[in-house]
Amino acid sequence: MQRAPSSACLEQLETFERLLSLLQAVFRILETKLPSPVPTAVYGRIYPRHTEQSAHQAALQKLARYLSGLKALLILLSHRMLQEDGVIKRTLDELGEDILFLVMQPENSDEVALRQRYLSAFYQEEFDESVSPIDSTRTRDQIRRKKIRAYLERRQTPAILNGKQAAGLVYQAYSGYVHAASPHLMEMCNFQSMKFDLSGVNDVDLFESHVADATNYFVRSLYSAAALASVLGEHKLYQELKARGDALAEV
- Please list the rounded mean pLDDT of every run of 10 residues in the chain (251 residues): 84 97 98 97 91 98 98 97 96 95 94 96 81 65 89 68 49 83 94 93 94 95 97 97 94 77
* pTM of the full structure: 0.90
Does 133 fall in a domain? no
Does 11 fall in a domain? no
Measured CA to CA, the distance from residue 97 to residue 94 in angstroms comes to 5
CA distance from start to end of the chain:
31
- Which of helix, strand or coil describes residue 159? coil
Report pLDDT for 162.
Answer: 45
Does 114 fall in a domain? yes
What is the span of the domain harbouring residue 81? 16-123+142-249
- Which of helix, strand or coil describes residue 131? coil
Does 8 fall in a domain? no
Report pLDDT for 153.
Answer: 84
Does 129 fall in a domain? no
Report pLDDT for 131.
Answer: 63
Q: Are 126 and 141 in contact (CB under 8 A)?
A: no
User: How many distinct structural domains can be found in the chain?
Assistant: 1
Report angle CA 8, 81, 226 to the nearest 5 degrees. 65
Does 109 fall in a domain? yes
- Which of helix, strand or coil describes residue 132? coil
Does 217 fall in a domain? yes
Report pLDDT for 164.
Answer: 44
Measured CA to CA, the distance from residue 196 to residue 164 in angstroms comes to 35
- Nearest C-alpha neighbor of 213 from the set 124, 103, 86: 86
Does 134 fall in a domain? no
Report pLDDT for 136.
Answer: 59
